[in-house]
Amino acid sequence: MQQQDVEQLVEHVALKLGRGLSLEDLDGLLLAYSSNQSHADRVRVNFLLSKRVPLDVSAWQLSHGIATAVRPVVVAANEELGMLGRVCVPLLVRGFRVGYLWVQLDSAEPNAVSVLGQLPDVARELEELSALLLDSNTAESEFRRRREQEFLAACRGESNAVAAVAGWKEVQGRGPWQLVTVLDADGWAEGSDPIAATLIHRSAALQATIGVDSALFSAGTETHAVVLFRASTGRADHAQVLVHYQLELAKRAGRPVHRIILGTSESFARPRELADAYRQSRQAAQAASVDPQLGELVDCRATGIYQLLASAGGGAGAWADAGSVYFRLLEDHDRNHELLPVLELFYDNDGSVQGVADKLHLHRSSIYNRLGRIRQLLGVDPLKGMVRLELHSALKARRWAGRPRI
């Protein structure tokens, strides 16, 4: 993007509208502004001087829903802030949020009807402005895009890509490494535009890893992101990336993001092990997405039986039927979902009745009663030997069948 092109386009739109405009990025930094303004309020003057939206002004703007809006939003005047009314125009390309254009109302205007009526006249210019901002995004540069594609090819085990990545200055001589899969547990399958989804994950991963020295490279796919870390036993850097990724993803996708998972591979010392590390990290993220007790920062070795279920392979329908007669019998009789959840929690909590009661907010006697009903239905003790192993495995297989397909 040429900054001059953006400034000229903002000035052109301002002249067509006959109003003062300012353009900011998603973090509230000033990108461009028009010279055409009959009256500038205190907020606009301070913004042009400081180049950043103050926190109190940002809070007022966000309270009107601009972060998730896809159409112009009227932001009411705020006398305490010294702020006249405004119209915020979210700038998007294929659903990817790239910035905000602000149109200030005149002090004598009672409402924003006139501005909203003028905006269709500059629709083409706004589209062009959005495209220019997209081109300025670091993640959208052609060089960066090619490197991410090469990195993902290496993660898939393509030998030429592995050799190329091994020679990158970010990678060469900086092992051992760990690979991390970053997954939005609830929104991984959302969106009908794969190009926009990929760009959102690429940008979120790039922004989330800025300043994290142990994060050597990141790439995004349609459903998740992949980050190459220097191997370490600590998880402080991983936690930092998780928090920032969640914020960046919400900002760019324009929707709430509730749970981000980081699945971490074992450390590896040879670039040719990238594919195995990718498989481990991806499976760890998948396991945590279907079994919340694993947490959000998940090492592959901590996923237990899910490693075995993943290694058994199978297509999309694999493990949809656990194949256990006892399990199917319990499913058929558990129409109120009272028995299987208690049994799984009992297994997962090392047989602690009090632990299960606390988590389900029930009395201990209720837990004993449900375990007794299970024993009566099956005709065997579900807490012993092979029956326990069978039922616990079947419960986890049912969860694994609902994993994200990434």
Residues with Cβ within 8 Å of residue 128, at least 6 apart in sequence: 9
Half-sphere exposure of residue 399, counting CA atoms within 13 Å on the CB side? Answer: 22
Write out pLDDT tens, residues 272-285.
Answer: 999 999 999 999 99
Over residues 72-99, the pLDDT tens digits come to 999 999 999 999 999 999 998 767 788 8
Q: Write down the residue that tokens 């042009």 correspond to.
A: 48
Q: Which tokens is 257 given? A: 């993001």
- Low-confidence stretches of the chain (pLDDT < 50) are 1, 316
pTM of the entire predicted model: 0.73
Average pLDDT over the chain, rounded to whole?
89
Of 276, 177, 277, the C-alpha closest to 217 is: 177
The pLDDT score that the predictor gives to residue 1 is 45
What does the alpha-carbon distance between residue 222 and residue 256 come to, in Å, rounded to a whole number?
18
Is the separation of the CB atoms in 41 and 82 below 8 Å? Answer: yes
Q: How far apart are CA 342 and CA 368, in angstroms?
A: 10
CB 90 within 8 A of CB 98: no
Pairing of the two strands 177-184 and 73-75: unpaired
Upstream peptide bond of 54 is cis (omega within 30 degrees of 0): no
